[in-house]
Amino acid sequence: MHTFCNLLARRFLRRSLALSGLLLAAAAPAAAHADIYRYEQPDGTVVFTTKPQAGQAPTTVYSNPHGGARTGAQPRRSSAASGAESRAPGRYDAYIREAAARFQMPVAFIKAVIQIESGFNPNAVSPVGAQGLMQLMPGTATEMQCADAFDPRENIIAGTKLLRLLSNRYNGDINLVLAAYNAGPGNVAKVDGIPFEQTRVYVENVYAAYQRFLAAERQP
């Protein structure tokens, strides 16, 4: 039953995204379950790739970036910027557009992830320790070169970079991209699909939010 629902959801979402003209096609498609490696070049440049480089010692990235499926963000009580203004969806548009242009991801899609992850609360912390607007685990934030996960711009840039890497890894399959973002690629690989009921609901919620933000973009 779960397998049927997963397949049905995957087909529906792929068809809907194709109709919208915003299928998350990868810039350089990678093998569906390839590891992602991080290399630091002699000049200090950091390179992410799915192909091991001969003669270089890599760091394997994102076997499980969130440490398992998450249960929802909570506000960090000590923050001074936790009012309604900080959670306004339009407040971070400039950062979202910057990240979207840099990593070739739809603005509406990034907004949808932020909406479901944190409700646009830059100070949110999940029960498992994911932080900020796009709910980055500390290790993931470090790998994405995000020094402060509670800084809205840094968080959005890092979270969008992760979405791009996952989109490359899963050939733009939005179901697998979101499932891996929520539950980790390791769990996605175990079932070759959406691993948990909670993750399935997460995928559906992000997609619904994506459609709403997309419709808002089209309004005159």
Residues designated catalytic: 117
Q: Render 145-196 in DSSP notation, one character per residue.
A: T-S-TTSHHHHHHHHHHHHHHHHHHTTT-HHHHHHHHHH-HHHHHHHTS---
Backbone angles phi, psi at 61, to 5 degrees: -115, 140
Under 8 Å between Cβ of 158 and 117: no
Q: Largest Cα–Cα distance in the chain?
A: 55
Under 8 Å between Cβ of 206 and 119: no
